[in-house]
Every structure is written in structure tokens, then in C-alpha cells.
Structure 1
């Protein structure tokens, strides 16, 4: 399909128009992190993908609140730059970089092993790292690359750190999903790259649906432990999540985004809300919109039987590694 045909494709035209209208009418968040006086002194937080975009601003907010913040990043150079910037702006020296590639189950296990050896507590885990538009690729673990990065890696990381979070309770797990999950599908063969259509954001949408489904099941399993698990849509945000798309598409999105999309700082508001807001104390298994409002996710994300099946399937996949 040629470049021009892509933009004349009915599905593309409709989705682009709808997206522009939705974004233009995005409601401002009813909660402002700058007016929230919650302190995180004595608390430890992990933010994946914290070297750029939403993740960096989430980590910065936690650092300003006095938390011990672990930046879980794939790139040492970019992670170090973010580390120095966050320390300087927040005035908090207790910010640290740990390397993590969530697409690699070996990297996830190594990160968790080191973390459990070095840290005595974990109060906040924000699963933020994600990609969109990756080409067809299977990781060395045998997983489709986007599924490994956006879902299986965060899924394994969360489960490896759960016992420490229970010991540290009250604690919160926040998974950054997307409203795109409404267009997602569940097909377990997708995890191995089978029967998967790589067009536009199809794969991304599927992984974001799995995020919510498994987060809801995790919340059920964590009942009465003092650990909550919620998922959140940050809004349509100008971040590097589009970096794997073609130059033409990135130009279009960046141009539209300049006028309509949220900045990374604005996109960080709803995840921060889920992580620190006092009004969400004890709230679990919920999905929040970009304006910090509680909303219903897609019907598939509310299917309890599917959630059990999905969670157990992901457990089997990651337990073999």
C-alpha cells in the first residue's frame, strides 16, 4: 500500500478524524499534582521507561515528593541523563538508575534479582515502558516483540516484585494502558507472532487490552493484601512511542500533536494520580481515564473468566523462562 493510499484508507481517515476530535475535546484533569501535598518520604518507587516522556515526569514528581526513585531504563546513556536532570530539578539525591529491557525476560529477572537484594521495600511500581509500531520480530524468548515489551515483561516484573510489595503494604501498582485497548483483540496465538496483523497500531492496541485484563485479575488476587493494582489512560501524548513508525507518519502525528496532543508532563498526571492520590487509597481493579476519572474499560477487559485465562496463560509463558 502506498503512502497516499494509507491516508485515503477509510479506516485511517475515520480514526484520524475521531482521534483529533477526541483529543481536541479532552477534559482537563480534575486533579492537579501540584496542589497535592502527599509526601513520599521513606517510600520507594520504581518507574519503567523513566528516561523520557511520561515516565520521566512521573519519576520527577515522585522525587519532588521525597521518594527513593528507581529509574528502570534500557539505555544507560539516556537513563543517566534523565537521572541527572531529575536530581537537579527535584533536589533529591535519592534517585537511581537500574538497567532494564522489558522485552527480555532475562533482563527482567536480573533487574528483579538485584532489586530484591538491594532494596528493603517497594511502595509504588509504575509499569510505563511501551512501544508501538515495531516491525515483525520474535524475541529470543520466542515472543512477539511488542507483546514482550508492552505486556509480558511488565507482567513478569510485577509478579517477581509482588512479595516485597506485600511486605511493604500499603503499596500501589499502576499500569499505563491506553484508550486504544477498545480496539484491541484477544488471541493467545498473537503472543508468538501468529495470526497477527501488523498494520498501524493494531498490535499496540491488543497489548494495551491485555494490560487491563491482567491488571484486573491481579487486583482480584491481591485482595486484602494492602497492595492495589489499577490501569490508566494517560491521554494522547506527544512522546517517543511513535519512533518506530515511518518518517511520514511521524511527521503527520507530530504536526497534529503540536496543536492537539498532550505534553508528556500533562500525560503524567493521571498515572501520578493513581500512584499517590489519597482518595484512591484501597481502590483497586479499576481503569482511569486521562482526566483522572473512573471509567469502564472495554467489555473484554471486564470479562472475569477471560481475565483468569489470560493471567494463567501469561504465568505459564513467563514461568518457563
Structure 2
């Protein structure tokens, strides 16, 4: 049943990677609908500036948290800071991510693409899950990519230690986003909290420009043919704000419409294996705030 009463007015929204690109546009549009928005990004000065900008343009309540979401400590810090300031969360948008042409390793010893693009989504969501449950109806939105269609979860070399390709690592992480979403949706069934993933399109943002070499040189040219951030943000905004998707969960969207994801993404055994591995890699020391539903 469609919940026609769904509105973002006075609802609490948390969005990561929101100081530029589709994340910033999404934060602005949701704030303009009356949401209380908290943005998360690594650079404190950018966070403050973007929050001030959105606040001045919309008159909405806009808060910010500076945290490095590529490392477990940063994710824990972001979740703890949000919890310290808020007792509710209606919409969580996991948007932060990047492409790395060369293999980098985080302070935790994990390959950077998998850590930032997947483990970040996984751990932040689990750390805030009890707030989402207490605020239900609530929505979890995971920004993935059609790059996942070519992705394979290589459980034998998930960190790319034996063989690394930037595109292979990226497509694997985006497939992980979709599989995580489907696992999460099953766990949350009947709770009033939904989980969906989306493809924003190839958007002209800072994507890929963090790289040196040919990738860094090539990306500005490719971006000439990419979507504007305003267009790329449409599906994120739709999933956060539309009454039409109330109760819709465990789906993949593009252009504000549901569509099938890759055949691999529906492998329940692989989804459960990925979940177990993600728990092993992220929940090693600190127990979650509450048990799973």
C-alpha cells in the first residue's frame, strides 16, 4: 500500500559524500523539502561551507559531520557523532564513494575501493540501524552503479592483492552495494524500514579526478559527455522523498524507475557470504548498538 502521507518535512536525513556532485544536490533538494539534513564528508571546511550554503538558500536545519569514511575509526566516529546529536533518523543515503586506478591500502589494511565504497555503507548502516528502526517508517538508500553489471565478488582475492584493476575493484564494490541492499531488505522486512539501491548515471562530478596518470588526464574529457549533477541526483531524491516508493524494498532503480540488477546480484548464498565477510572485517572490536531485527 502506498503511504500517501509520506513527506520529508521535519524528517531527519543523513547523507554521506555531500560536499559536491550528486550528494550536494541531493542534500540541497531534500533540505528544500523541509528535511533536517546532516551531511558527512572528510573535509571539515567544505562540510561547514556547504551546510552554510544550503541553510542560507533553503532556510532548513542543516548540520554536518567531518569524518574519513574510508577507515573504520572514521565510520565509527561519524555514527557516534550523529547519535550524540540525534535520536531519530528517517532517511540514510549512503552516497560517498570513489574510483582508484592504482591500488591503495587504508590504515586498517584494506583495499581502498572496497573499504570506502562497500565497508563504509555496511558499517555506517549497522551502527545507525536502531535509530532507523525507532523512526520507522524510514528509508535506506544505497548509491550503486550500473558498473555492477560487470562486477564479480572475488572472495579469493577481494582486496585485489594478487591482481588489481581499478575498474574491476570499482565494479566489484558496486555489486557489493546491491547485494548488501538485498540482504538488508530481507532482514528489515516487516519493520517499516526499506532498503533500495540505485544507479545515478555517469555524472560530471569529481569522480575519478583524484587519480594521477592517464586516468586523471582522461576524466575531464569524459566528463564533457556526462550528466549534470542535478540530473544524476534525481533518483536519490525520488527514493528519499516520493510517497510512491513507500513500502518498496530490496529493489534497484535508475531514472526513478525500478529495473533488474545483474544476475549475480540475486545470488542469496553469495549475499550471505558477503555479509558474513563484511561483519568479520568491520565488527571485530565494538559491538553494534543493538541487535539485528
TM-score (norm 1): 0.84
Shift of 1:251: 4.4
SS in 1 for 2:70: coil
Partner of 1:268: 233
| Number of equivalent positions | 282
Shift of 1:189: 4.1
SS in 2 for 1:166: helix
Shift of 1:100: 1.9
- CA distance in 2 between counterparts of 1:69 and 1:179 reads 27
2:59 pairs with 1:88: no
Larger radius of gyration: 1
2:40 pairs with 1:76: no
Between Structure 1 and Structure 2, the one with more helix by share is 1
Deviates more, 1:241-250 or 1:161-170: 241-250
Q: Once the two structures are superposed, what CA deviation does each residue of 1:65-106 show, in whole Å capped at 9, x if it has no partner? A: 1111001111011112211221122122x1011112110101
Shift of 1:247: 5.5
- CA distance in 2 between counterparts of 1:136 and 1:179 reads 22
- CA distance in 1 between counterparts of 2:12 and 2:84 reads 14
Q: Is the 8 A contact 1:143 1:193 kept in 2?
A: no
Q: Is the 8 A contact 1:53 1:264 kept in 2?
A: yes
- CA distance in 1 between counterparts of 2:233 and 2:213 reads 26
Partner of 1:105: 72
Shift of 1:159: 0.4
Provide the aligned C-alpha RMSD in A. 1.8
Partner of 1:303: 267
- CA distance in 1 between counterparts of 2:215 and 2:279 reads 36
Partner of 1:255: 221
Partner of 1:170: 137
Shift of 1:121: 0.4
- CA distance in 1 between counterparts of 2:161 and 2:217 reads 31
SS in 2 for 1:240: coil
Q: Is the 8 A contact 2:144 2:199 kept in 1?
A: yes
Q: Is the 8 A contact 2:140 2:195 kept in 1?
A: yes
2:19 pairs with 1:51: yes
2:189 pairs with 1:223: yes
Partner of 1:25: none
Deviates more, 1:104-113 or 1:170-179: 104-113
SS in 1 for 2:78: helix
- CA distance in 1 between counterparts of 2:37 and 2:244 reads 22
SS in 1 for 2:207: helix
Match of 1:161 among 128, 138, 143: 128
SS in 2 for 1:160: helix
Long gaps (5+) in structure 1? 1-36
Q: Once the two structures are superposed, what CA deviation does each residue of 1:106-134 show, in whole Å capped at 9, x if it has no partner? A: 11111111221220100000000001025
Partner of 1:41: 9
Long gaps (5+) in structure 2? 286-293
Q: Is the 8 A contact 2:94 2:142 kept in 1?
A: yes
- CA distance in 1 between counterparts of 2:87 and 2:228 reads 34
Q: Is the 8 A contact 1:144 1:190 kept in 2?
A: no
Shift of 1:176: 0.3
Partner of 1:235: 201
- CA distance in 2 between counterparts of 1:319 and 1:253 reads 36
Q: Once the two structures are superposed, what CA deviation does each residue of 1:182-231 show, in whole Å capped at 9, x if it has no partner? A: 111111244444233224x2211110000101110000000001000000
Q: Is the 8 A contact 1:213 1:302 kept in 2?
A: yes
